[in-house]
Structure 1
Amino acid sequence: MATQEIKVPDLGNVDNIDVIEVLVHPGDKVELEQTLAVLETDKATMDLPASATGVVEQVHIKVGDKVSEGTLVVTLNSSETSSTQETEEKTETKVETPETQPTEPPAATAAEPVKTATQPTSDRPPLTPMSNAAHKIHATPSVRLFARELGVDIHQIPEGSGRKGRILKDDVKKFVKSLIQSDSAKTGTGISPIPAVDFSQFGEIEEKPLSKIKKLTGQNMTRVWLNLPMVTYHDEVDITELEAFRKATNADKNNDIRLTALVFIMKALVAAMKQFPAFNSSLSADGESLIFKHYFHIGIAVDTPNGLVVPVIRDVDKKGIFQLSEELAEKSALARKGRLMPQDMQGGCMTISSLGGIGGTAFTPIVNAPEVAILGVTRAKMQPVWDGEQFIPRLMLPLDLSYDHRVIDGAEGARFMEAVKSYLGDIRRLIL
């Protein structure tokens, strides 16, 4: 029995090359220049071709190994090649020119050798000449690398659109697209969808389509809820003096612009963000770094007849409370009329969601990604507060801070809330 060893050839003095794919198994028939494995350096991928023909007796490498010049790859038994040469040539002719066999479908010719071939040690079919044409993956190293970067097992792609079934980049893209569409049909979360119910069996119903805003908001909130590990921190702040100052200012007949508590909250939020820059950042797409912003744009959630929208007030740190009040009133009016432009709702650093005009004591606002935090506000109410000697009535405002726990930890979240409270509790701090 004649055996031959195929080793890694000279690769230009490069050592410790990663094996990323092994394409042969014991029992496979190997042809000259057939790719045995795919190797990858930090700069390129390369096919490792066969330097001889024969049947694979043993494969000496596996995916994840590191090889260098002279590393043994496979051992071949070449004694059978001469006795089967004539049969193989006939078989190869059939495979290469299927159009000359009008009476026999290609599937039937490919099935015949599989029955008689030696069983390989894996689930993949043996690479006999017949099954080679039907099952072997043909793709260039660049396409294989492209597939790996997308997390695609190239062997799962049924057929390529290139010459002789070669897999192209477009085939990989189509395969990924088909997977995404399939996942979308299953809600895209890996969670079984809520079963449909025929509510008409219980009584009279009416069905109305969701507005486009509510559809988009729902999709974004679902995406955030599933991808961000969120934490919500609840607290309350004494705004008795702030409210007294606001009412006194609005009582001045020389002021045409009415101040709202929201503009003071915006100012306090920006002052705290300057102290804690992580709250004015966004996580990079790969999750490896933080992008810190040197501008302060605050989004304000506005309830409209069509759903929730978030206009952005830009450069809050550079504007006074009267200018902010005027701009907030204008943006809110445009939002309720549905006249906001896309650029009016982009570029926010952090969002405020206020239910103060409605009520409530606490809630969990969902972070408006790619922002990393959001401040929720509910209705202030008078409460008895112990001052060390007696209970006195104070106006207490509930605050709810939700944040991305990948970026902000609990201690930092609590310190940030304390900073916001210190500015709202004594607005004179805002001018320091």
Structure 2
Amino acid sequence: MSAIVEIKVPDIGDFDQVDVIELLVAVGDTITAEQSLITVESDKASMEIPASQGGVVKAIKVKVGDKVAEGSVILEVEAAEEAAAAPAAEAAPAPTAAAPAAPAPVSAPVAAPTPVAAPAPASVAASAPARVSPTASYAEAEVPLRNLPHASPSVRHFARELGVNLAQVTGSGPKNRITADDVRAYVKQALATGGASPVGSTLPGGEGFSVLGWPKVDFAKFGEIEAKPLSRIKKISGANLHRNWVMIPHVTNNEVADITELEALRQQLNAENKKSGLKVTMLAFLIKAVVAALKKFPEFNASLDGDNLVLKHYYHIGFAADTPNGLVVPVIRDADKKGVFELASEMSELAAQAREGKLSPSQMQGGCFSISSLGGIGGTDFTPIINAPEVAILGVSRSAMQPVWDGKAFQPRLMLPLSLSYDHRVIDGAAAARFNAYLAGLLADFRRIIL
């Protein structure tokens, strides 16, 4: 006969909670007493937690990343009835002398001694409720066993904060020990080359830092759910957005433009051309102003190609179009050669094709700069994600009447928020601020476009 026995974390000294950084056994393994089960780490040292008795592992109750404390259940083993029936006090008597030191993990510079404090009596331990892992509903992360790198706990903690897989870092310290400088050098190299090939989860194309596997949760345990597949557009755009956000160092500059006179002009043009059925939107004016700004600041009309900056002498402007299946970005070619009415007409046609799912790939390629306008929906500011291989994108939010001081009194003015995200590898903060300020000035006095 056999019984299921819980193996718990013993007294670990002065630490309230420690992180589980390695699992040393798997379900189905046969373990013996004193065999190491998990490796835990505090901010000062790491240590291995041994088994209090042997048996066959039936369930593991902790995972990498969990925090455990004295009394936390590590795993369940199936033990022989004779071993399970033995008094608990016999397995863990109150010691009268210091217990032997726990075996040193391969990564720890100094072995952490097993604490000498006596555990609670068996009757108390049996009645105490078992601690459940806060990530018990997650599937096990795909982390190889016994893969702890040769680095100090502080360096491993530093690497986890940066998302770096230490298995791919070459140590420069004694006996190839990994130092904090080695981690920094790895990050710099990864950023310079566009990412490293990780062991864990990867970005599209196999690039990026290694991270733990995505948590798998049985959401139905918590309530009613409905599974709905992502649209094809969202699958494609989502992968691109993920790549762009991770691989491009985004910075966003926020500005407001006084469009009081420009809005009056727009309404006047629409009133005069009411019979034509063509409606001029603010986005048409924005495209003209953006082209003028790109001509004054050519580094924004460029793409990064390795160590070279490719400056473009054409002006193809993309604009985000909202469709039932997700966002797409049609491109208006040679926007510098088109007037406001022609831009408004072409935008209307492209947006209609986007909503009907009839855009061809060529109509969404070749863009130099993109505009994402949420003005018709709302919001004050946001951070648009750069559409690689472009180096900047303009986000436009909803305009609003605001009191603006003219030197003598506050005047009601229609103000338009502008959010310029830029690739900091190519564009510095001062250039971005100048671009946004110049663009706001053009929108405030559209006559400057002809200068």
Distance 1:181 1:410 in 2: 32
How many Å apart are 1:302 and its aligned residue?
A: 0.7
**Aligned position for 1:138:** none
The equivalent residue for 1:321 is 340
Cα gap change, 1:201 to 1:312, in 2 (>3 Å) = same
Shift of 1:298: 0.4
| Residues 1:245 and 1:197: Cα distance change in structure 2 (over 3 Å) | same
Change (3 A) 1:186 1:271: closer
Quote how far apart the aligned CAs of 1:184 are.
5.2
Counterpart for residue 261 of structure 1: 282
| 2:237 paired residue number | 217
Between the two proteins, the alignment pairs up a number of residues equal to 254
Rounded Cα–Cα distance in structure 1 between residues aligned with 2:362 and 2:296: 28
Q: Deviations over 1:384-409 (max 9, x none)?
A: 11101101100000000000000000
Shift of 1:217: 1.0
The aligned residue for residue 134 of structure 2 is none
- For 1:147-158, what aligned pairs fall within 5 Å after superposition? none
Question: Structure 2 CA distance, aligned partners of 1:206 and 1:222?
Answer: 25
Q: What's the offset of the Cα at 1:180?
A: 6.5
Could you say which residue in structure 2 is the equivalent of 1:275? 296
Give, in angstroms, the shift of residue 202 of structure 1: 1.0
1:414 matched to which residue of 2? 433
Match of 1:297 in 2: 316
Q: Does 1:392 align with 2:411?
A: yes
Supply the distance in 2 between the matched residues of 1:400 and 1:392 (Cα, whole angstroms). Answer: 24
Between the aligned partners of 2:436 and 2:255, the Cα distance in structure 1 is: 8
TM-score by length of 2: 0.54
Q: Look at both structures and tell me which one has the larger radius of gyration over its CA atoms.
A: 1
Q: Secondary structure at the match of 2:375?
A: coil
Give the conservation status (yes or no) of the 8 Å contact 2:201–2:211: no
What is the SS of the residue equivalent to 1:403?
strand
Q: Is the contact between residue 197 and residue 209 of structure 2 (CA under 8 Å) also seen in structure 1?
A: no
Instruction: Determine the structure 2 residue equivalent to 1:366.
Output: 385
Question: How far apart are residue 186 of structure 1 and its match?
Answer: 8.6
Q: 1:180 to 1:189 in 2, by over 3 A?
A: closer
TM-score, normalising length: structure 1:
0.57
Residues 186 and 193 in structure 1, CA contact (< 8 A), matched pair in contact too: no
- Distance, in Å, in 2 between the alignment partners of 1:424 and 1:389 is 23
Displacement after TM superposition at 1:378 (Å): 0.5
Distance 1:395 1:339 in 2: 36
Q: Within 2, Cα distance between the matches of 1:380 and 1:207?
A: 37
Partners of 1:186 and 1:319 lie apart in 2 by 39
Question: Given the alignment, which residue of 337, 340, 347 partners 2:359?
Answer: 340
Answer whether contact 1:279 1:372 (CA < 8 A) is retained.
yes
Cα separation, 1, equivalents of 2:353 and 2:258: 32
Q: 1:342 to 1:366 in 2, by over 3 A?
A: same
Aligned to 2:252: 232
Which residue identity lines up with residue 406 of structure 2 in the other structure?
D
Question: Which ranges in structure 2 are unaligned for 5 or more consecutive residues?
Answer: 1-167, 169-195
Quote the residue 1:191 is aligned against: 211
Deviations 1:241-281 (A, max 9, x none): 00000001111145442110000000000000000000000
Would the alpha carbon gap of residues 378 and 317 (structure 1) be closer, same or farther in structure 2, given more than 3 Å must change? same
Please say if residues 186 and 192 of structure 1, whose CA atoms lie closer than 8 Å, have aligned partners that are also in contact.
Answer: no
Write out aligned runs for 1:23-422 (5 A).
189-252=209-272, 253=274, 255-284=276-305, 286=306, 288-422=307-441
| Aligned partner of residue 291 in structure 2, secondary structure | helix
| Ranges of 4+ aligned residues in structure 1 off by more than 2 Å | 179-189, 253-256
- Is the Cα–Cα contact under 8 Å of residues 316 and 335 in structure 2 kept in the other structure? yes
Q: Which amino acid aligns with 2:291?
A: V
Superposed displacement of residue 326, structure 1: 0.5
- 1:181 CA drift (Å): 9.8
Identity %: 60
Bigger CA drift: 192-201 or 334-343? 192-201
Task: Give the C-alpha shift of residue 196 in structure 1.
Answer: 1.1
Structure with the larger helix share: 1
Please state whether the residue corresponding to 2:350 is helix, strand or coil: helix
